[in-house]
Amino acid sequence: MLKKKIEDILNAQVEKEGYSSNLYLAMATWTEANGYGGIAKWFYAQAEEERLHMLKFIHYINEKGGHAIVPVFNAPPKDYSDIHTMFEEVLKHEEYITQSINDIVGMAIDERDFTTQSWIQWFVNEQIEEEAQVREILDKLRLLGKENLYLFDRDIMTLRAANAAADAGE
């Protein structure tokens, strides 16, 4: 059985992961509507991943005898100035998510909830990978400059596939 404090912080994370999914979906539809079909695919895939993260929290809370709550989500921004700024916002958002995962680790330790502490490690590692992937994208964007996104748009999913293969140890 989860302690109430732990259940509450995990439910707060359900909201954050769900918002992340909607944020990336909003970025996907903006990029698709603005002619960046490759970047849009990256964001649609990212939105799916975040939805799976939300579901992981939901299932864990319920399996541990709590009650996962589907919250109201704030609407993500619908307009974005440019691709560079968008990925800077993605990095900032992922750093915020990393901090909130760390807060869960801290509370699990304080409350001596070693099951949750162990379970949440998957997310600790996932955040390392997510931040690294976005930093790599930002590095590439800096190399390309603001006006030269054709090749980036074409290749971004290749980068994603290469990262996934590396994570899988291929």
Residues that bind ligand FEO (CB under 6 A): 17, 20, 50, 53, 94, 97, 130
Give the nearest distance from C-beta 123 to ligand FEO in angstroms: 7
Q: Whose Cβ is closer to ligand FEO: residue 49's or residue 111's? A: 49
Chain residue at closest Cβ approach to ligand FEO: 53
Q: Whose Cβ is closer to ligand FEO: residue 119's or residue 149's? A: 119
Question: Which residue, 85, 101, 97, is CA-closest to 138?
Answer: 85
Question: Which residue, 17, 39, 35, is CA-closest to 27?
Answer: 39
Q: Whose Cβ is closer to ligand FEO: residue 47's or residue 149's? A: 47
Q: Whose Cβ is closer to ligand FEO: residue 94's or residue 153's? A: 94
Give the nearest distance from C-beta 3 to ligand FEO in angstroms: 23
